[in-house]
Amino acid sequence: MNSIASDAAASSVEGPLSGRRVIVTRAPHQSKALRRALEAKGAEVLELPTIRIVPEEDLGPLRALLTSLEAFSATIFGSQNAVDYVVDEAIKLGVSTAAPVVCVGEKTAARLRDRLVAAPVFRGSIERPEDDAFRGEGVVSVLARRFGPLAGHRFFWPRAREGREAIGDALVAAGAQVDAVAVYRLVAADPLSPPIDPRLLAADAVLFLSGETLRCFFEVLPEVEARRLLARSAMGVIGPVAADKARALGIRVDVMPAVATGEALVDALAAFFRRDPRPDPTPVDGV
């Protein structure tokens, strides 16, 4: 069964988040920088991963597209996970391309650069939408600046099975051909076993870095407890897509940074508590 990180401890650093308990819902191996940023501002971090990332059972469609990688005008990566699965398979197949890459988000671009140090699978330029908006229009804008009209161009888009269609829809609307392939799946983490750790119920904030982490939050926690927690704590999301998911679920959004990065989310959370210095939560079971 799922459980929150057992080594959570109050930060010894004095800062704008001192005394605040903050729940991070991303997988621990992907949230190290976020945790460091929170602790640097004095927060106590509780890790409650709500999703598991698993590869597609059949990667044959991905391998088939990779064998014709040079036929694409560009590759589009929407996540660090897509980068890892594609680069791993490209290395196995011994394929590469000089075509450009568009990465949605700074972290995605950084992950690709890291992977290409040892395996230069993608030798072309790495670009990303200027506003880091997690929407298809930003990707179309980058590609249109590079190629002009997109009609007749073919783009490779490896993605999560549960991912949004915005990028593909926007490219098709612009006249492009899009070869989308699911390379991994997002599944809910195991539900928490009762009793629920009282530290969760005493959290001051919950942070979501994607709409899927929010959706799966309600599978990891009983819905009554999940909604009660989100109602009493500050609710932070990394960008507009997660915010849209929250509103669709009837959940208010308290914090959303102007730039979609974990560091900006932490800064926005600190600014929120400066504007709205809520009293410390009532201790739960002595916590």
Q: Which CATH class is domain 54-186?
A: alpha beta
Domain ranges of the chain: 21-50+189-275, 54-186
pLDDT exceeds 60 at position 70: yes
pLDDT more than 90, % of the chain? 69
The pLDDT assigned to 241 comes to: 84
pLDDT exceeds 70 at position 285: no
- Please state, as a whole number, how many other Cβ atoms lie within 10 Å of the Cβ of residue 222: 14
Fold identical between 21-50+189-275 and 54-186? yes
E-strand stretches of 56-166: 74-77, 101-103, 126-127, 154-160
b (16+ CB within 10 A) / e for 167-205? bbebbbebebebbbbbbbbbebbeebeeebbebbbbbbb
The pLDDT assigned to 284 comes to: 41
In the chain, what is the straight-line distance between the N-terminal and C-terminal CA atoms, in Å?
Answer: 23
pLDDT exceeds 70 at position 43: yes
C-alpha–C-alpha distance, residues 170 and 113, integer Å:
26
Q: What is the DSSP letter of 28?
A: G
Query: Is the pTM here over 0.95, yes or no?
Result: no
pLDDT exceeds 80 at position 198: yes
Q: Which CATH class is domain 21-50+189-275?
A: alpha beta
pLDDT exceeds 80 at position 5: no
**Kind of pairing between the strands at 51-55 and 234-237:** unpaired
C-alpha–C-alpha distance, residues 287 and 39, integer Å:
19
